[in-house]
Structure 1
């Protein structure tokens, strides 16, 4: 006699088709460990009857989960859970900004088996062009278009992730002794690159949308004036994250984007746009590169939208800068893994990329809701959903929270790592706070960490959460 399924059928309370709601409900219960590895799922016909949906809907949802490796089917036996929950460690790490896990254990094997049937042996035997194989550049450009960025493959360089793309862009535009203009609170990785390359950093005051145009205008006055005096200095670039800003979660509306672009055009300054947190196309929030393709270096990657281990990035370069950027790429690395690119191509072709992307977006929304329920008004509200949240705190409280959280076994982003210590302007204390990265931990670890931080906020005298805490 077959064992009964331990799962209590439900549809997730989200906007979407019945298949998407069933997929989301099963994903949540599998990845949280509520449905353990090896657990049987209900028979498709029985599940359709119990939920009042069509058999084809159940078949579609099961197929979506199988493509991600979360389920496995055994002919004549049934369908079973194939994923494992994330492991617990000594610390709960809220300092690394990664997307939620959406890949099951069976997916890598199935992907490699598919590649074995169609991979080009010559591709693994020769060096590709510096910019990358044309077929893979075309595929990444097609993926960017799905996110709302119209990228010309001829202007696209393949890189080893977004960080590599940023390094190539900074080397190309700024060079030795150059100046990088950034938001007062910014991505720690770009500050590390600026230090490594010996660039001057100019921090620009922010508001709820990110970099303020008036403050940028003033900063460019100083930066460009200093560059004129320093004959041996390099170029000047403006770096920003206009959508789901890292770390403050602000997003620029269309008017702000137009104003930033107009300022840079007037002063003939290059922009570097980090767009790794764009999860869906949104016409009201267009990429800066679509507004000023002649002066915007556009950075994106698969690491934030599909899987952290898929280290494939793309740098869309203004045509006039392409040869210099290609030379900088050649100097920093001879080739991007063709096997990794083949995995990307396979996932896009067979629909796996679409399924993983949808699952990540839904899990990100769920985690954001959890953080909002636990931390309440201490948390800054965000227009977009991503993998990090922002706690606005005065510098002493931010530093104290990091130390206290570590003592409780919770790692948060060190406040000083996101603060732009400007060489030309004073730091902006009003932009201080702590970034919490909520994508990586297992769900129960995440909830425990957020509850610990909620308690610390009250103990430190910071604004305490007042919204109802989840049971």
Structure 2
């Protein structure tokens, strides 16, 4: 079954010249994946068959497969063989609506807080200069807004100057600008093998390549990142280090320091997407603190106030980098929204954002206690103050994650299957469940009861729904 494939490789080896054979074979595997000749889960020829047909020694074949593994192209399974991992899959458009609605921030039902949010917004519009708010504004945000953002929202990048700070319309546009600015056609962006789907859709839209890093419970493996730096032209490392979306874990200080060491040695930019950091009580030092000369620190109000605000910011490593980022953002959205920028500035100045964050934390932890009670005995990751968790399927569950996610959504439970987050074509038997949004504690109790009942329910009982 491998004959045609190996014959092509044999011909290329015969014509290679002085180029190392083991590197050429790894290149050929990569080319076959890129062109679709090798699909995810396709079996790769055994090393002995490869060595015999191509006419190379076994150690060269072994070295070639080791090189391909370093590049994240293949994986070996004891007793089964070696298989292609395939290209990083782009998020499917059909999944986008779920991603946009599933991880909604908690909306505390506190009348005095709701009134305060309204009053500050109305006061900003009624007392401000209307036409000033309707005109073209300073690109990258006003000095006043930057000062307030630095004072209230940059506790993990407070070393930066205002000239390094750029205001924009949310994280998604900032990430689009950074990917456009930092990555050329020959380069790749390293990402966790489970990552925020937005970076997948941005890369697909812009024609940029992502390189999946192997992970453990503490995030991307340092060895996998260094292997990528040795074998690829790496433009940047993208990370969501605090309350990671989707696994709801945070990268430890020691792992952060080890990843930074590699980034510094290879001069790799770091894009730190830290939107959940405002909710964390005692987060580890940020990558921006550990490697200020390399890190673009990105955050917003989406997970600590409300995604509809469309207000985000990036702290760049240098003033020059901020100018380039501002230029890229200007081409994408011209400027931040003046009225919203002024409202946010007043919410920050009046302490409204701080009170909202505290309310979200309290409500999240109250809901978490309900979830632990209802899902007792089921393995899940959920950090303090978070409003989503990562559900690992028990061995007795026979559902496919995608089918179960669809079933749960039909019952009003915010769930997304692991495939939406996977970047290595090997999604685990797991899913993300969100308990934010407008729900109250009674709703959460009912949802978790339904989730547990459905989880252990035979899938065939629901076949008529698909």
Look up the match of 1:378: 378
Contact 1:205/1:428 (<8 A) preserved = no
Residue number in structure 1 paired with 2:180: 171
1:435 to 432, 440, 445: 432
1:396 Cα deviation (Å)? Answer: 6.2
Residue equivalent to 1:276: 275
Describe how 1:333-412 pairs up with structure 2 within 5 A. Answer: 333-393=333-393, 397-412=400-415
Whole-angstrom distance in 2 between the partners of 1:113 and 1:384: 34
Please report how far the alpha carbon of residue 220 of structure 1 lies from its aligned counterpart in structure 2 after TM superposition.
Answer: 2.7
The residue aligned with 1:84 is none
Q: Distance in 2 between matches of 1:140 and 1:401?
A: 41
SS in 2 for 1:370: helix
When structure 1 is superposed on structure 2, of 346-355 and 387-396 the one drifting more is 387-396
Task: State the superposition RMSD in angstroms.
Answer: 2.7
User: Partner of 2:370: helix, strand, or coil?
Assistant: helix
Aligned-partner SS, 1:298: strand
Q: How does 1:21-170 map to 2 (within 5 A)?
A: 96-102=102-108, 104=111, 106-116=115-125, 118-121=127-130, 123-146=132-155, 149-170=158-179
In the aligned structure 1, how far is the partner of 2:227 from the partner of 2:418? 25
Shift of 1:391: 0.8
Distance 1:107-1:177 versus aligned 2 partners, 3 A rule? farther
2:448 maps to 1:450: yes
Q: Does the aligned pair in 2 maintain the 1:306–1:356 contact within 8 Å?
A: yes
Distance in 2 of aligned mates of 1:148 and 1:359: 24
Match of residue 261 from structure 2 = 262
Equivalent pair of 1:97/1:437 in contact (CA under 8 Å): yes
Cα distance change on mapping 1:286 and 1:93 into 2, 3 Å: closer
- 1:322 and 2:325 aligned: no
| 1:12-52 per-position Cα deviation (integer Å, ceiling 9, x unaligned) | xxxxxxxxxxxxxxxxxxxxxxxxxxxxxxxxxxxxxxxxx
Cα 1:149/1:388, change in 2 over 3 Å: farther
Shift of 1:106: 3.3
Structure 1 CA distance for aligned equivalents of residues 356 and 141 of structure 2: 25
Greater displacement, 362-371 / 265-274: 362-371
Q: Quick one: structure 1 residues 221 and 396, their matched pair in 2 at CA, closer, same or farther if it must change by over 3 Å?
A: farther
Following the alignment from structure 1 to structure 2, what is the Cα–Cα distance between the partners of residues 382 and 300? 21
Residue 299 of structure 1 deviates from its aligned partner by 0.7
Distance in 2 (CA, whole Å) between partners of 1:353 and 1:147 is: 17
Contact 1:148 1:281 in 2 (8 A): no
Q: Which runs of 5 or more residues in structure 2 are unaligned?
A: 1-97, 460-466
CA distance in 2, matches of 1:334, 1:270: 25
Which ranges of structure 1 fall in alignment gaps of 5 or more residues?
Answer: 1-91, 225-234, 422-426, 462-471
Conservation of the 8 A alpha-carbon contact between 1:95 and 1:412: no
CA distance in 2: counterparts of 1:159 and 1:414, whole angstroms = 30
Following TM superposition, by how much is the alpha carbon of 1:278 offset from its aligned partner in structure 2, in angstroms? 0.8
Q: Which moved more, 1:207-216 or 1:405-414?
A: 405-414
Deviation at 1:266, TM superposition (A): 0.9
Cα distance in 2 for partners of 1:184, 1:100 equals 27
Equivalents in 1 of 2:378, 2:228: separation in Å? 31
Higher helix proportion, which one?
2
Matches of 1:171 and 1:94 in 2, distance apart?
Answer: 22
Distance (Å, rounded) in 1 between the aligned partners of 2:211 and 2:99: 30
TM-score between both structures, scaled by the size of structure 1: 0.69
TM-score by length of 2: 0.70
Q: Secondary structure at the match of 1:273?
A: strand
